[in-house]
Amino acid sequence: MADPEFQRQALEHLNALYNLAVYLTRNGPQAEDLVQETYLRAFRFAHRFQPGTNLRAWMFQILRNTFLTFYRQREREPAFLDEGDLDTERETMFHDAPQKDGTALETETDLGRAIARLPEEFRTILILAEVEGLALEEVAEIMGCPVGTVKSRIFRAKERLRGFLKDYGQEFKS
């Protein structure tokens, strides 16, 4: 079992891990299970963590590997978020964002739906780099690929998002 200081430091990343889990699973209860399994594994294998390295990246890597092992097999075809799939009070992509008005919540929900349409390898990299603010090197470590691949996938993810959202806001243009 992990020492109390390791547990305290690991729990500081709970919101960020849950955020990624929601977008990987597209399901609140499954995201909670994924985060719980991530922490069980992290605490069980805390002796393998090298102090002085990036705990947050290590935790994200455990979450992603756990998802790929247990949850990805359930996805035979891409699923899309329905209105009820994203509880904006609890499962918002920007968990540290201030309170939003109705338009901002609608915009965030639409963006969340577009992100959910991305393939997992694009979605995960985009969330880690752009939403969670991890350095490209950290994202590369988590994903197990070169930094160049991370950059390429971010670019392609953004291009796909532009395509998904190309008509967004047309009603406001004259």
Q: What is the pLDDT of residues 74-90, one digit of tens each?
A: 654 454 444 444 443 33
CATH label, 4-166, candidates 1.20.140.160, 3.40.50.9100, 3.30.1330.200, 3.10.290.20:
1.20.140.160
Given this model, what pLDDT does residue 120 score? 86
Q: Which helix (H) or strand (E) holds 63?
A: helix 55-66
The CA angle 40-28-103, to the nearest 5 degrees, is 135
Asked which of 26-40, 108-122, 139-153, 160-174 is least confident by mean pLDDT, the reply is 160-174
SS3 81: coil
Higher pLDDT, 37 or 100: 37
Q: pLDDT tens-digit profile of 102-117?
A: 666 677 778 888 888 8
Asked which of 22-26, 109-113, 166-170 is least confident by mean pLDDT, the reply is 166-170
Determine the Cα–Cα distance for residues 28 and 85; give it in Å rounded to an integer. Answer: 8
What average pLDDT score do residues 59-79 get?
Answer: 75
What average pLDDT score do residues 113-140 get?
Answer: 90
User: In this prediction, what percent of the chain has a pLDDT beyond 90?
Assistant: 52
Q: Give the DSSP letter string of 113-144.
A: HHHHTS-HHHHHHHIIIIIS---HHHHHHHHT
Determine the Cα–Cα distance for residues 140 and 146; give it in Å rounded to an integer. Answer: 6
Beta strands in the chain (DSSP E): none
Given this model, what pLDDT does residue 58 score? 94
What average pLDDT score do residues 40-65 get?
Answer: 93
Determine the Cα–Cα distance for residues 160 and 151; give it in Å rounded to an integer. Answer: 14
pTM > 0.75: no
Determine the Cα–Cα distance for residues 71 and 92; give it in Å rounded to an integer. Answer: 21
Rounded (10°) CA dihedral 42, 44, 48, 51: 60
**Domain extents in the chain:** 4-166
